[in-house]
Structure 1
Amino acid sequence: MSKKTWFAGMTSLVIASGVLTGCSGNGNAVNTGAEASPSASAPITSGETVKLKMWGGVPPESGPQAVVDAWNKENPNIQVEYVRYVNDDEGNLKLDTAMMTGQDVDLFVNYTLSHTNKRIDSGFALDLSGFTDYNIEEKMGSDSENWKINGKFYGVPTTKSSYFVALNKDALDAAGLEVPKEWTWNELREYAVKLKTGDGYGFLQHIEPYADPLDSVLSQEGYTKADGTSKLDQPLVKSWLETLNGMMATDKSTPPLGEQLTSKMPVEQEFLSGNVPMLNIGAWLLRSSNNFTDFPRDFKIAFAPVPRLTEAASDYVTRGGLGDYISINAKSKKQAAAWEFLKWYADGGMAPMASGGRVPASKDADQATALDNLLGDKADTYDLDSLKYVMFENETPTYVRSLPQEVIDMRTQEYENYFLGTQSLDETIAKMVSRHNEFLKLNK
């Protein structure tokens, strides 16, 4: 299904909400993978009540609780409890520790390939190839290939992921600026200067997608050169570092990294309160921007693609595609029940998650219901043309971050030192390359 087809009916802002129905299917598929024990993969016995725990990073009130409530109502034999972990370093460690110590984790959501790979290596993510009653590639489309690891699926990618720059449309109009459909980081820098007022900032970023520009380049070119050494000295890496540092130190149009880290700056609140007119973030913004109780606002939000480092638009790829990769714990003794829930979730049971920007990826999901959940009664508070373009019509190729977590952490440490002013640009690049080369040697 094309993005344009998905968005058919957008101009009809009032869409009848579908009724979530729990259809667990009648196939008792058995996982025959090496990780599954006979008791773990045994079909569900009639009359037996199985209790599952699903761990995810989205607050329960932003969709997950409505999902499990709908399932539990229709499936008394399989009851699901949602456990929230925060999708940051501390939260991911909490999830990994829970699985390592044998706590109840039957399903869990991965948000990056790097975390997924670590969990596969630790024996936590189940190889799903033993389940033969659900074709993940057919359901989710060709982008699902990005989530194959060693030719296998260790989870189901369930959402269409979007990353974008959210814009205060009222502020843009007052400054005489258009909503971009494509732009570079240098052009965003100019917007940030024009939009800042007084001592305020023109642009903010959520920390999670901070380094996406680097990966938009290196995910395509490769992170290593022909001789197997690090490519973190690629010229566009230097360009990104210089541009962002210039915005912090020279233009003062975005906060210094040290200020953002030490203050734990609530970037979504800063944007939604109208203090800062541009925010680099992902579709999870909508769970806050639709919440007028906690985040009241009096301006319309527009959307622009994340800018590119390259001058040529034809060379650009953006982070996105499919996400929310849900795995079954290889140590769970309730894998058959977990699989029944996961199929239902992926094929449309997850529709309430759209209220937080999580659009179902499955071709069999009820897209009208998901769209209604996405917009709710706040459709008139968004610039619908730019929302439509960025989330559903933009044909820019996407990538899924696959860099090992150790390299991501190392790279982050070094560029943070540069932005904090404790080392020079050349020292930063040299250290990134040196530490990456050391990692490559140890992991041949």
Structure 2
Amino acid sequence: MKRFGKASLSLALAAAVLSACSGNNNDSQGSGNTAGSSGASKGSSGEVVNLTFWGGVPAESGPQEIVDTWNKEHPNIQVNYVRYVNDDSGNLKLDTALVSGQSVDIFANYTKPLLVKRVSAGSALDLSAFKDYDIDDKMGAGAKEWAIEDKYFAMPTKRNMHFVWLNKDALDEAGLPVPTDWTLADVERYAKALKTDSRWGYAEFPFWRDIVTFDGSLAVQGYVKADGTSNLGAPVVGQALQLEYDMMHTSKVSPPVSLIESTKMNMNAEFLGGKLAIFTAGEWIFRDANNTKDYPREFTIAFAPLPRVAEGQDDFRYLGGLGDAISINARSEHQEEAWAFLKWYADGGMLPQASGGRIPASKDADQSKALELLLGDNKDKYDTESLQRILANERPTFQVTLPQEVIDIRREEFDKYYIKAQSLEQTLANVVKRHNEYLKRQ
């Protein structure tokens, strides 16, 4: 996939660090208007076309500024932003709106399984109908991970970055270096040294109960064996689950799933509030980390790559690639206008979201500006050396291709193990059995 060159990225980051410009004007308010597509089919007729754009980012964190800028520059094509929460209920809300004919012209997909589901439902337009924009050239080879049967039903628009957030002050106090390559066993060792009576050693963003560390190996090995049966019982799966379980219940450096669920623990707030030392998440946490009004902090944040399950994993890949794949509703009456907006958005219109970690993937977007916005006025609150390593890394990446139904099956069974409702052996047996049943149905 096309990435920043290390030298050019270093220069861009250095410029961003030295710049006194905050570059962040993402404080416009409003949750977006839900007006539907009620205008004429062509903006050139002089009548106003209204488009509705559904996305998972809060309007005040960039999207409202984006649509306000577009609307000012394109008076005949007005875009209204509707925020849906990127969780099970929020995705169900979007899917219901798509199939029931509610006002959706453009929508963001955050996982490929959900995109595949929407393509199967006839909700996403085949973008190959448009010949004036080369997605592969603009976004690089990583865009192909979003193709379905060699066609694009969504345009990936941002660089996906999944990594580990660290309280560097706590690391310094414990005499621990910022990791540059590590395993889950190393994570536990660090977490033991960093845990206190008022601070957890390690936790994961809830997303990581769906996309598990071992997926970095199964992305290469395959989720299905050569004989057509499930590979979800591979040794690396059990090894990863055991390590996660031990951190919850043996070394007790991680909050157990039952506690997280029963208290509705906000993991972002736990980390930014100094109550969590090591946090597996991604670039979206910048949205809160840069919001020092609601999340004030004194400590410096450092960054590390995702951990591998164990040493010697030559087949390991890192979750990453491209994300925020934007689709046009196949039932929209204003597909040409939606396409015009999508091209503009991808090539730089999306920049107001950079302060929340959303770095544009397009080669034509202003990457130096994106990095300035990412750091903003808070550059002194980040360990820029470790951030630079994360942004410039050339590690091989993957996109999860497992169907959403199987991801849900896994989570159900894994959570039973994590809350001590069943053994590891029974968990693996159940996952393999249910995956095989799914494969037979297909």
**What's the TM-score once normalised by structure 2's chain length?**
0.93
Secondary structure of the 1:144 match is helix
Q: Are 2:341 and 1:338 equivalent residues in the alignment?
A: no
Structure 1 residue 16: Cα displacement: 5.9
In the other structure, the counterpart of 2:33 is none
Q: How does 1:191-230 map to 2 (within 5 A)?
A: 191-198=190-197, 200-210=199-209, 211-230=211-230
Structure 1 residue 109: Cα displacement: 0.3
Q: Is the 8 A contact 2:40 2:48 kept in 1?
A: no
Structure 1 residue 101: Cα displacement: 1.3
In the other structure, the counterpart of 1:295 is 295
Q: How does 1:10-89 map to 2 (within 5 A)?
A: 10-12=13-15, 13=17, 14=19, 44-89=43-88
Structure 1 residue 310: Cα displacement: 3.6
When residues 19 and 272 of structure 1 are mapped into structure 2, their CA distance, relative to the original with a 3 A threshold, is: closer
Secondary structure of the 1:79 match is strand
Q: Is the 8 A contact 2:13 2:368 kept in 1?
A: no
In the other structure, the counterpart of 1:9 is 12
Q: Give the AA of the match of 1:190.
A: R
Q: Is the 8 A contact 1:17 1:368 kept in 2?
A: no
After superposition, the C-alpha distances for 1:32-70 in whole angstroms (9 at most, x for unaligned) are xxxxxxxx9965433121111100001111111111111
Q: Is the 8 A contact 1:51 1:78 kept in 2?
A: yes
Structure 1 residue 395: Cα displacement: 1.1
In the other structure, the counterpart of 2:164 is 165
Secondary structure of the 1:209 match is helix
Secondary structure of the 1:219 match is helix
Structure 1 residue 367: Cα displacement: 1.2
In the other structure, the counterpart of 1:355 is 355
Aligned equivalents of 2:385, 2:24: Cα separation in 1: 28
In the other structure, the counterpart of 1:280 is 280
Q: Give the AA of the match of 2:243.
A: T
When residues 201 and 131 of structure 1 are mapped into structure 2, their CA distance, relative to the original with a 3 A threshold, is: same
Q: Are 2:245 and 1:242 equivalent residues in the alignment?
A: no
When residues 7 and 205 of structure 1 are mapped into structure 2, their CA distance, relative to the original with a 3 A threshold, is: same
Secondary structure of the 2:13 match is coil
In the other structure, the counterpart of 1:318 is 318
Structure 1 residue 378: Cα displacement: 0.5
Aligned equivalents of 1:271, 1:18: Cα separation in 2: 25
After superposition, the C-alpha distances for 1:241-264 in whole angstroms (9 at most, x for unaligned) are 110100011111001111111211
Q: Are 2:367 and 1:364 equivalent residues in the alignment?
A: no
Secondary structure of the 2:52 match is strand
Secondary structure of the 2:201 match is coil
Structure 1 residue 393: Cα displacement: 1.3
40-49 vs 162-171, greater mean Cα deviation:
40-49
Q: Give the AA of the match of 2:384.
A: L
In the other structure, the counterpart of 1:114 is 113
Ranges in structure 1 where 5+ consecutive residues have no aligned partner? 21-39
158-167 vs 313-322, greater mean Cα deviation:
313-322
Secondary structure of the 1:66 match is helix
When residues 155 and 183 of structure 1 are mapped into structure 2, their CA distance, relative to the original with a 3 A threshold, is: same
Superposition RMSD in Å: 1.8
Aligned equivalents of 1:358, 1:415: Cα separation in 2: 30
Q: Give the AA of the match of 1:300.
A: T
Q: How does 1:166-185 map to 2 (within 5 A)?
A: 166-185=165-184
In the other structure, the counterpart of 1:257 is 257
Aligned equivalents of 1:3, 1:148: Cα separation in 2: 25
When residues 41 and 438 of structure 1 are mapped into structure 2, their CA distance, relative to the original with a 3 A threshold, is: farther
After superposition, the C-alpha distances for 1:97-144 in whole angstroms (9 at most, x for unaligned) are 111111100000000000000000000010000000000000000111
Secondary structure of the 2:322 match is strand
Secondary structure of the 2:206 match is coil
Aligned equivalents of 1:310, 1:400: Cα separation in 2: 21
**What's the TM-score once normalised by structure 1's chain length?**
0.92
Q: Give the AA of the match of 2:290.
A: N
Secondary structure of the 1:254 match is coil
How many residues are matched? 424
Aligned equivalents of 2:374, 2:119: Cα separation in 1: 32
Q: Give the AA of the match of 1:411.
A: R
Q: Give the AA of the match of 1:231.
A: N
Percent of matched pairs sharing the same residue: 51
Structure 1 residue 169: Cα displacement: 0.4
In the other structure, the counterpart of 1:305 is 305
Q: Give the AA of the match of 2:148.
A: I
